[in-house]
Copies of this chain bind each other. A is one copy, B any other.
Amino acid sequence: MSKRHNTTLKELAKELNLSISTVSRALNDHPDINATTKQNVKDLARRMNYSPNLFARSFRSQKTNIIGVVVPNISHYFTSTILKGILEEAEIQGYRIIISESNNNEAKQTEMLNTMTQFGVDGILMSLSRRTTKVDDVLQTLNRVPIVLFDKVSQKIPCTQIVIDEEQAAFNAVEHLIELGKERIAIIKETENSYNSEKRYAGYLRALEHHGIKIRQKIILSTEDISLIHGRRLTNILLSMKKRPDAIFAITDNAAIGAIKALNKFKVKIPEEIAVVGFSNSANSKIIQPELTTVDQPGDKIGRTSVKYLIEEIENPSNDVITKTVEIKTTLVVRDSSLRA
């Protein structure tokens, strides 16, 4: 009943009349050790239910096989799919994952970085909190362990960054609307120049230009908080215009859903009068009626590639800074909110 006693190398050694080092080497398949000895050791180890004390091991090797993950909000759906991918890939590669939240609070973010490095993680995966200004703190930890950024990234931090092809994805989404015959396409984006918002806006502009459609500042709307409520609010503004748009591209699903709710309320026909396209393919996008056309971001793939790149850096450390940006391809999921009836 002795709660928690783990057999040690020493006990195995005593039992077999061998030295600790021989036992250790046998278990690690060191070539110096006789085959039958190895068998004996391994057999006994299994019988005595031996498992190495990972803390002793990583204490000695200064390698923890732990990856720290810092995200703004764990219960954000897209984030949780990324985490899923991270967990899967990490498990395959024999790493464990420690997670913490920054709650979009920069102070807390740097605090988390500190406890992570103090804890001895081999590397850090991070999605930046909303308003990250003091990049210095991040740089300081980057100086101690490798970091890979994903989703919410910043070019000011010299490390590899895994993002989706925001610009191209937005381009495709808007082009899809154009191909439906829409030509007065509003956009709902963020006021603040976040990386994601900027890129998506750029894609929007490029699509319009590429198809020779005039860019109308009036229907380019911004909001601080890109949420359902403000999506609805801005859509109400669009509806009050003398000349309404014939499509709305919202740079998040939630804003798009807010738009749909506003349109539904005023019995505007979707997509005939106004089509709507969102961004994220969140679970909500299949719940709203009509179901939302949106950009699918493969969260698990982002997670898995982030892990791959990080482990690559962990296991093959180089002195020169790496500033690769990897773009993950997205696909447009066409649903009723943009389907020609």
A residues neighboring B (CB under 8 Å): 1, 3-4, 51-56, 58-59, 62, 64, 66, 73-75, 77, 80-81, 83-84, 87-88, 91, 96-101, 115, 118-120, 143-145, 257, 261, 264, 283-284, 287-289, 299, 317, 319
Residues of chain B lying within 8 A (CB to CB) of residue A264? 289
Copies of this chain in the oligomer: 2
With A4-B144, A97-B99 as known contacts, state yes or no: A75 contacts B64, CB within 8 Å.
no
- Which among A55, A98, A144 has the highest number of chain B CB atoms within 10 Å? A55
Least Cβ–Cβ distance between A230 and chain B, in angstroms: 15
A–B complex contacts, Cβ < 8 Å, 24 sampled: A1-B319, A3-B145, A4-B62, A4-B145, A51-B118, A52-B118, A55-B58, A55-B59, A55-B64, A55-B120, A74-B83, A75-B77, A75-B299, A80-B80, A83-B99, A87-B99, A87-B100, A91-B100, A97-B100, A98-B98, A99-B99, A261-B289, A284-B284, A284-B287
Residues of chain B lying within 8 A (CB to CB) of residue A59? 53, 55-56, 59
Besides A3-B145, A96-B100, 19 other A-B contacts (C-beta < 8 A): A1-B143, A4-B144, A4-B145, A51-B118, A54-B120, A56-B59, A59-B59, A74-B84, A83-B99, A84-B101, A87-B99, A87-B101, A88-B101, A96-B115, A96-B119, A97-B98, A99-B99, A264-B289, A288-B289
